[in-house]
A and B are shown apart, each in its own frame.
Chain A
Amino acid sequence: KAGVTQTPRYLIKTRGQQVTLSCSPISGHRSVSWYQQTPGQGLQFLFEYFSETQRNKGNFPGRFSGRQFSNSRSEMNVSTLELGDSALYLCASSLQEGTYEQYFGPGTRLTVT
């Protein structure tokens, strides 16, 4: 089975721009979560989606948004980029909500200049 794929892998944007990141979960997985990873803050939870519904949201400003499509693929969008948004954005999928383990993609490295 193919793993979680994320596109693009690397991205360089300028402050004020917006960006959209894409995640394709493992086939059959219905839950998708997004995380931001930085050296200072570690792994911080952004959102969790299940069957196109946002189930949980982390403590991030409204500039961060996401969605999930009927085929379970997910996108996250960051508007009005700030330098502090530079990070590795990780997507993870799991079979169902709840106690199932999450499988992570390789991440998208976003650099904001």
Chain B
Amino acid sequence: AQSVAQPEDQVNVAEGNPLTVKCTYSVSGNPYLFWYVQYPNRGLQFLLKYITGDNLVKGSYGFEAEFNKSQTSFHLKKPSALVSDSALYFCAVRDSGYSTLTFGKGTMLLVSP
């Protein structure tokens, strides 16, 4: 069975500093990986995905993620955090094109001014 782990419930970063939100996964086949963000009282917004190819994926709002097959990780990064980045971030995985999408528990990112 596929699974996703987001080991940190909360990440605190000062504005202007780089941020990393961690995600590790477990699948039986090739992973298809996604990051989503959720603002209060809103649905989830798609940030980026890894299907195949370059291990560094660039997405919306300046976010990027690095796929590391050997460490089964897909960490979300941003070079310079903004206060407006404060939100709940979800990592998700599918282990084939037709399996269900499994989400991690989410990581709350708090960016202080």
Residues on A facing B (Cβ under 8 Å): 4, 33, 35, 42-43, 45, 48, 55-56, 58, 90, 92, 97-99, 101-107
Contact = CB atoms under 8 A, between A and B. Distances in A.
The 5 closest A-B pairs by CB, nearest first: A98-B97, A104-B43, A43-B103, A104-B44, A101-B46
Interface centre among B45, B94, B101 (most CB of A within 10 A): B101
Interface of B: 32, 34, 36, 41-46, 49, 51, 90, 94, 97-106
A22 to B, nearest CB: 15
Given A92-B43, A97-B98, 7 more contacts: A42-B104, A45-B103, A48-B100, A90-B44, A99-B94, A101-B34, A103-B46
Nearest to B90: A43
A97 to B, nearest CB: 6
A8 B99 CA distance: 29
B43 A107 contact: yes
A101 B49 contact: yes
A104 B90 CA distance: 13
A42 B97 contact: no
A99 B97 contact: yes
